[in-house]
Amino acid sequence: MALEQSLAALSLATVSADSSAVDTKTLVFKPKTAKTATPIPLFVFALTATQTPSSYIAKAAGVKEPRLANDELVQEFFATTTKEVSIASLSSALAGKVKLVVDAAVFKAAETDAVLKLTTESSGAALPAKTVVEFLKSTGIELIEVDFSVEPAAAAAPAAAPAKKEKKEKDSGKIEDAKLIGITYDKEKDFSSWYTEIVTKGELLEYYDVSGCYILRPNSYFVWETIQDWFNVKIKSLGVQNTYFPMFVSQRVLEKEKDHIEGFAPEVAWVTRAGSSDLEEHIAIRPTSETVMYPYYAKWIRSHRDLPLKLNQWNSVVRWEFKHPQPFLRTREFLWQEGHTAHLTKEGAQQEVLEILDFYAAVYEDLLAVPVVKGRKTENEKFAGGDYTTTVEGFISATGRGIQGGTSHHLGQNFSKMFNIAVENPEGADKPKVFAYQNSWGLSTRVIGVMIMTHSDNKGLVLPPRVAQNQVVIIPVGLTSKTSDEQRKQINEGAEEIEARLKKSGVRAIGDYRAIYNPGWKFADWELKGVPVRLEFGPKDLAQNQVTAVRRDDGSKYTIKLEELEQRIPEILDEMHNALLSKARNDFDAHRVKVDEWKDFVPTLNAKNVILSPWCGDADCEDDIKDSSAKKDNGEDEEVDEKAPSMGAKSLCIPFEQPELKPGQKCVKCDKLASTYCMFGRSY
Amino acid sequence: MALEQSLAALSLATVSADSSAVDTKTLVFKPKTAKTATPIPLFVFALTATQTPSSYIAKAAGVKEPRLANDELVQEFFATTTKEVSIASLSSALAGKVKLVVDAAVFKAAETDAVLKLTTESSGAALPAKTVVEFLKSTGIELIEVDFSVEPAAAAAPAAAPAKKEKKEKDSGKIEDAKLIGITYDKEKDFSSWYTEIVTKGELLEYYDVSGCYILRPNSYFVWETIQDWFNVKIKSLGVQNTYFPMFVSQRVLEKEKDHIEGFAPEVAWVTRAGSSDLEEHIAIRPTSETVMYPYYAKWIRSHRDLPLKLNQWNSVVRWEFKHPQPFLRTREFLWQEGHTAHLTKEGAQQEVLEILDFYAAVYEDLLAVPVVKGRKTENEKFAGGDYTTTVEGFISATGRGIQGGTSHHLGQNFSKMFNIAVENPEGADKPKVFAYQNSWGLSTRVIGVMIMTHSDNKGLVLPPRVAQNQVVIIPVGLTSKTSDEQRKQINEGAEEIEARLKKSGVRAIGDYRAIYNPGWKFADWELKGVPVRLEFGPKDLAQNQVTAVRRDDGSKYTIKLEELEQRIPEILDEMHNALLSKARNDFDAHRVKVDEWKDFVPTLNAKNVILSPWCGDADCEDDIKDSSAKKDNGEDEEVDEKAPSMGAKSLCIPFEQPELKPGQKCVKCDKLASTYCMFGRSY
């Protein structure tokens, strides 16, 4: 009989063995016994990952030389073979006849919502660890718990050893009491592994078999759709129209603007073959669309009355970077919007640059609850081929690194002169023709990475309420074996009604009525997936006409009268948004440190801060700051982020909001007078 | 002095010289004159396209041997050079001293809203043809109109010649009295040239420098956005989630499903190089995403509780076809949505196939006002690798060809077995595991092409109201030189208020207040761009508190009381939608002809019909029908569409709605019994 059916026969409902289920093993040992005595077999149940030396088993069970049992013995006691034996073979009939030896890790798992995978050679099933332990206890068989991580003769081992082991675990960033189905790395200690776990277990993203490309799963794509909807309304109010230009660019067109293409050329992907035919002219995939679009701007703009021309497209671009890719932050193909506008006047163009930048800041702050600093890029860091670049800059507290959030460029007349985007002078045809003043601006799916890094924690993803595909999950609670059918029905129906009412009122609600999981398991599962608010509905709630709400970010609880449901939930979602933003802003503010003296620069940087320093504005000095703040191989600091172990501080932006420069204030690095405060930091 | 300024000095306002402005030329001739007499120069003004032989000019002006004048003469009479002379050089002071010879085509243009482009060597300007003619007349100079298309000594020519020429013009499909700013080809006579003009002059699309790729301009992209918004709501109601998979596919994965890839292999674009590095493994750009997505379905689907999995993505795919590309219909990169779902049961999957097909039919009928026939593809025509394909089929009346509108495929278990998308059997783990039943379904920007071909006419684009970026254009009318400033202000403000009220009520309205164009020119311009309803607001409307509405499709006029504006406009838009759909449906119905006998098949096909015929269902017979209905080189018919001059009739679909088969009914082509009615036709 297959395992799942056996378990069913024992009234142990099985669950889906998803990837987070933990493997277990079942072994039967026969201790050395006097030949005349009936042996008492040891039934050992442990996590597969646990090493179970027979010497430990012997000590714990007080037996001698236990050896793996043969089929004959297993058949005698458990009516099956060694390969098919499982906990389904246990019953109270065996009490007194066999002993159970159970790995302590199984009991630990039973304190969480972990699911165990049970396998025999021919079949498999999965059960909550809780259920397994309850079942084992219910058999009445003598049960011996063994902590295999502790040597039974511990006193014999040098005292230093366990301490050393503990230290190693800490350094590894592994969370010691991690729930087995959830996040196992600590955000503060191993950010990189933590991030990988969050994006995959939070079902935001899947790794893909072409390096540097990733699948955006519905949980993250929904965030992007929400941003699209919001941003479309904003830009359309400015008269921007959406459009779609081809992804392909001919070599001739791509290379028309030299400064511009220089920045992209090493990363351009080229199509050279179609079917089995080699193409005569190789075709590039757009890394951005300036040179794709502007020849047509020249064609469409014939008179000053055709200005401003404001177009935007949502598409994907390809930059075949050879550096280490990172989900959302650095990917070879990414989704973005790129706006390209042409104006009659410099003033008109410059005004729009800032309007768009405000929209970008609002995407971060009003949708994603991520604070940003608005400013202007230095000459070194501006968009190649443009006049100047404005930016919103974020901050990843866990690594102390800055991150560019979105950029709005004023291109001046550089491209319009190159592509001849010109109109007759409105002041008279005898005056020189006017080249258009252009902007381009882009925001990519990188925003999702910044959002994840900012809010999520060691329990999993934390989704800001306004972009969460599921804002609220409703879970029936308090149903036990003593619950009457009538009450069970009322609670389930009550939960469903709450779900329906919320949906009707525009809240993105989902109900979790799966009977096979207990509430604790569900809580952990939805916490992992980042749902902002959990609603618990149980007997007490039913009796009192209320529901209990728990916020994902800080666990705060609310009791909500059902008649106030539609009013309170949106309020709680907003409270959570504000709390997330405020927490992150305090964090950013605390780690944006004003440093006037160079001696404080690197230590402040190494303490995971970004820095505001008076600066001369000189490009060479900027390079010098970067070089001088790069980690040297002298072991003087403890930075462990292997992705940027020795990165110097780049200029992030010259913030629009400036501290006042003291008269005579020198540059933080060189002897020249400072012209501005600039924000520096290690960055993504 | 530059031309535009000269014209300004003459109180001739100039307009923007857009691409539809018609080039003109100015020539000065000196007739042979007695040496003692003062010559009377001929000032010739003509369209550049008009051939102006001096013999014609001589005849018309009654002079001898006119020759092009030299600079000296031009300077003497017109105070400028031969290269700079223009109508701006004319004035009443020249009356009696020179003669004007004006191309009849200029007068013809003045009856329309055409704009003429005036150029001298150093400058240029544009004026409505009306204004030009009025100005020429206002000078008082003797004016001689010459029809250069008619030989002055017509009687001498053989009588057959002009008739032949007329025939040639008709065959060419040129519209004889075409407005010069608008469409110049006749939809019925030269569909291909007409279509090119519609998509470009209607500002739907721009040709691009990579062959087979086109730019979707805001006018067409808005249609796509509207479809996206509508379709997203529909599929989300079925539990479909949006996602994004990478555009790149490794060769190994692409080629996993043999039958499937065989259909796409010759059209796959390959990236082989990034920057200056050759890639070790060549990477394909997705032609569709079955093989991209399904390995991950296998990973994500672990239990029957993970089913159904319903994902959709909006993206672009690339099929590097070497056949003749056609805007919207056959392009190398195109935008589409592709839905991919996996189900536990065949019934669940099959039900969804039809739900999606209904959505596709509704996109056509409820949004684009295009009627379709739902049915199933034959085995020959189904999606490679799937079980069966359902389709919505449209009809292009002007060419009599069918067009595939959107397809919803049931893939059966073919892909799930290939990619191992399987779950344990819910009826018991001892039962065989269940491979998922899959569907895929796609709708592309081709819909826009079908919409254009169906509704547009010889005046330009006709946009169905529900997908038009601008649904209503408001144009102030009746303003003349006699209009008082007060009334002019009231009319303009009244028009603006109408615009504002409509926008507020959710109607996509735009006002055209450009002072430089007269209403007639604006009417033609907005008709060209397909705006569904034009609102005219003039002195009479102002006095009677009303506005006049004119429908784009049939010119029907409505007088609307202003207090009923917000109610009536949506009603009129709906009336227009219904009228468009009903007209197109009648057309499709009239050209879907039931043919039971083979002798009637080809003649009916050649009369621009699609055909419903009883058919045996045999694939070889289907091929035979195609071959036998292809045009032979025997000159027996008059088909002129060079894109498909000799195409045979393909099976378009087996319609769900079937005529009743008579007992013993034979197949239209072979001797076997018919099993069904099948729709055949030439197609895109």
> Looking at chain A from residue 289 to 308, which residues have their Cβ under 8 Å from any Cβ of chain B?
295-296, 299-300, 302-303, 305-306
- Going through A39-194 in order, the beta strands assigned E by DSSP cover 42-47, 67-68, 99-103, 115-119, 124-128, 142-146
* Element containing residue A623 per DSSP (H, E): helix A619-629
B202-247+286-455 CATH choice from 3.30.1330.10, 3.30.930.10, 1.20.200.10, 3.20.20.70: 3.30.930.10
Q: A271 and chain B: CB distance < 8 Å anywhere?
A: yes
Identify any residues that bridge with A482 across adjacent strands, giving them in sequence order: none
Nearest C-alpha neighbor of B519 from the set B545, B544, B492: B492
CATH top-level class for B472-588?
alpha beta
To the nearest whole percent, how much of chain B has pLDDT over 90?
65
pLDDT tens per residue across span B161-215: 333 444 444 456 777 655 556 888 999 999 999 999 999 999 999 999 898 999 9
Nearest to B253 among A209, A430, A514 (CB): A209
Asked whether the beta carbons of B308 and B344 are under 8 A apart, the reply is yes
- Say if the Cβ atoms of B268 and A274 lie within 8 Å: yes
Q: A17 and chain B: CB distance < 8 Å anywhere?
A: yes
Asked whether the beta carbons of B236 and B337 are under 8 A apart, the reply is no
Tell how strand B115-119 and strand B22-30 pair up: parallel
Asked whether the beta carbons of B244 and A335 are under 8 A apart, the reply is yes
Rounded CA-CA distance A345/A435 in Å is: 9
- Say if the Cβ atoms of B242 and A222 lie within 8 Å: yes
Q: Fold match between A3-146 and A472-588?
A: no
What is the helix, strand, coil percentage profile of chain B, to 5? 35, 25, 40
Nearest to A430 among B5, B125, B285 (CB): B5
Asked whether the beta carbons of A8 and A516 are under 8 A apart, the reply is no
- A155 contact partners, CB below 8 Å, separation of at least 6: none
pLDDT above 70 (res B633)? no
Q: B17 and chain A: CB distance < 8 Å anywhere?
A: yes
pLDDT tens per residue across span A205-247: 999 989 899 999 999 999 999 999 999 999 999 999 999 999 9
pLDDT tens per residue across span A509-566: 999 998 888 999 999 999 999 999 999 999 999 999 999 999 999 999 999 999 999 9
Q: B245 and chain A: CB distance < 8 Å anywhere?
A: yes
Nearest C-alpha neighbor of A141 from the set A173, A186, A93, A184: A93
- Put simply, whether the predicted model's pTM sits higher than 0.80 gets the answer no
Q: What is the pLDDT of residue A646?
A: 65
Best of A6, A249, A253, A270 to substitute, by most chain B Cβ atoms within 10 angstroms, is A270
Asked if the B595-634+642-681 domain carries CATH number 3.30.110.30, the reply is yes
Rounded CA-CA distance B674/B657 in Å is: 16
> A21 to chain B: nearest residue by CA?
B302
pLDDT tens per residue across span A608-642: 999 999 999 999 999 999 999 987 644 444 444 44
Looking at residue A194, the DSSP 8-state letter turns out to be H
Rounded CA-CA distance B523/B277 in Å is: 56
Q: How far is A450 from chain B (nearest CA, A)?
A: 19
CA distances to B366, B451, B596 from B375, rounded to whole Å, are 18, 20, 19
> A248 to chain B: nearest residue by CA?
B210
Nearest C-alpha neighbor of A364 from the set A391, A341, A388: A391
Q: B282 and chain A: CB distance < 8 Å anywhere?
A: yes
- A386 contact partners, CB below 8 Å, separation of at least 6: A409, A410, A411, A412, A414, A440
Q: What is the pLDDT of residue B366?
A: 98
Helix axes A565-590, A446-455, angle to 10 degrees: 90
Nearest to B270 among A210, A271, A303 (CB): A271
ipTM above 0.85, yes or no: no
Rounded CA-CA distance B194/B173 in Å is: 9
Q: How far is A421 from chain B (nearest CA, A)?
A: 14
- Say if the Cβ atoms of A283 and B429 lie within 8 Å: no
- B388 contact partners, CB below 8 Å, separation of at least 6: B376, B377, B382, B409, B410
- Say if the Cβ atoms of A243 and B253 lie within 8 Å: no
To the nearest whole percent, how much of chain A has pLDDT over 70?
93
Q: B544 and chain A: CB distance < 8 Å anywhere?
A: no
Asked whether the beta carbons of A502 and A560 are under 8 A apart, the reply is no
> A469 to chain B: nearest residue by CA?
B241
Nearest to B248 among A213, A217, A273 (CB): A213
> Looking at chain B from residue 365 to 404, which residues have their Cβ under 8 Å from any Cβ of chain A?
none
Residue ranges per structural domain of chain A: 3-146, 202-247+286-455, 472-588, 595-634+642-681
More confident residue, A249 or A263: A249
3-state secondary structure B335-386: EEEEEEEEECCHHHHHHHHHHHHHHHHHHHHHHCCCCCEEEECCCCCCCCCC
> Looking at chain A from residue 490 to 519, which residues have their Cβ under 8 Å from any Cβ of chain B?
514
Confidence label for A65 from pLDDT (cuts 50, 70 and 90)? confident
Q: What is the pLDDT of residue A19?
A: 63
Asked whether the beta carbons of A508 and A469 are under 8 A apart, the reply is yes
> B331 to chain A: nearest residue by CA?
A246
Q: How far is B585 from chain A (nearest CA, A)?
A: 31
End-to-end CA distance of chain B: 55
Nearest to B244 among A221, A282, A305 (CB): A221
Confidence label for A252 from pLDDT (cuts 50, 70 and 90)? confident
pLDDT tens per residue across span B288-343: 999 899 999 999 998 998 999 999 999 999 999 877 899 999 999 999 999 999 99
Q: A433 and chain B: CB distance < 8 Å anywhere?
A: no
Asked if the B3-146 domain carries CATH number 3.90.960.10, the reply is yes
